[in-house]
Amino acid sequence: MPLPVAKPELDHVVINVAEQLDSALALYRRLGFQLSERGHHSLGSSNHLAIFGENYLELLGFEEGKRDRRADLWQASHGLSGLVWKTDEADRDYQYLLRQDLDGDEPASFHRPVTLPDGSLSEAKFRTVRIRPDLIPAGRSFFCQHLTPEAVWQPEWQIHPNGVTNISEFVIVAQDPAAATQLYSRLFGSSSIKASQEGAFVLAAGAASVRFATEAYFQHRFHALPEHYTGAALMAALSFQTDDLQKVKTALRQGDLHFSEANEAVVVSAQQGFDVALRFHQ
């Protein structure tokens, strides 16, 4: 029996902050996000999360003395480095990746301790399977199976001063956006990628979409390109849906962060978003 085609649904995004967990945490709180207390993976990395309705943002780094525990993660430049898909069966998806010649390592299991809002202790447990790393030289993409979703999606953690309710867009910029779509076309089927009148190509991914954008489109929508952009496909920007743009502007002003307004959206440049351009809209 043929395995079903994998489903594109955004689970979370990863921002590589490496050794700068403290400064990244402070910055994203100034941006108006509620960030979790520091978590520590059994694999050695540490993180802070901003949890939304259907997806979440992860600031991923390491504490002093732990760089070597997951050294492969810190080779990428600071900024957006992970595009992560939901799955309810990581082992099935690994078999699918094998058949598509997209497989990386075999599925891996790990966990991190969590203190829930009521003070009780729990563990967030995951099983992940990664697309072969050489197919995504500027980042990672993998499927994540949440074995304990209640240890991540707590209602109290989904309320943010900036009113954000979900990540709505993950942007990959490239001189040749069509070429950048080829991996994801193989992964999810050619019909999953649609040309967009707004610019370049779009992959619907649950509450979010993944956009493969030209430099001109990116500069129009997000202004300056990230400093480490070379023309090759780069994970470069995020859009967020908020229930009130005024909440966004209030948070940014209180955080003493510059922003611009255009086309009924608020934009924070990559230079102020830890090398990630950020766009907020209703």
Q: Express each pLDDT in 55-105 by its tens digit.
A: 999 999 988 866 666 767 767 778 999 999 999 999 999 999 999 999 988
In the predicted model, is pLDDT for residue 1 greater than 60? Answer: no
In the predicted model, is pLDDT for residue 200 greater than 90? Answer: no
Is residue 121 exposed (0-12), middle (13-18) or buried (19+ Cβ within 10 Å)?
Answer: exposed
Confidence band for 2, pLDDT divided at 50, 70 and 90: low
The residue range of the domain holding 24 is 10-158
**CA-to-CA distance for 208 and 156, rounded, in angstroms?**
22
Q: Are residues 133 and 169 in the same domain?
A: no
pLDDT for 254: 98
Residue that finishes a domain, picked among 158, 183, 212: 158
Q: Are residues 168 and 75 in the same domain?
A: no
Residue that finishes a domain, picked among 126, 158, 190: 158
Q: Are residues 152 and 190 in the same domain?
A: no
Q: Are residues 115 and 182 in the same domain?
A: no
Q: Are residues 148 and 169 in the same domain?
A: no
Task: Name the β-bridge partners of 165.
Answer: none
Q: Are residues 205 and 96 in the same domain?
A: no
Task: Name the β-bridge partners of 237.
Answer: 171, 277
Q: What CATH number is given to the structural domain containing 168? A: 3.10.180.10
In this structure, what token pair is assigned to residue 95? 């078999």
Q: Is residue 2 part of a domain?
A: no
Q: Are residues 25 and 150 in the same domain?
A: yes
Least confident residue range of 53-57, 75-79, 177-181, 243-247: 75-79
How confident is the model over 202-215, as pLDDT tens digits? Answer: 999 999 999 999 99
Residue that finishes a domain, picked among 158, 179, 213: 158
Q: Is residue 53 part of a domain?
A: yes
Contact 282, 243 (CB under 8 A): yes
What is the end-to-end Cα distance of the chain in Å, rounded?
44
Beta pairing, strands 56-61 & 46-51: antiparallel
Confidence band for 39, pLDDT divided at 50, 70 and 90: confident
Q: Are residues 140 and 168 in the same domain?
A: no
Q: Are residues 73 and 202 in the same domain?
A: no
Least confident residue range of 1-5, 122-126, 264-268: 1-5
| Torsion angle in degrees (nearest 10) through CA of 78, 219, 196, 97 | -20
Model confidence, pTM? 0.94
Total domains present in the chain:
2
Q: Are residues 113 and 203 in the same domain?
A: no
Q: Is residue 3 part of a domain?
A: no
Q: Are residues 151 and 63 in the same domain?
A: yes
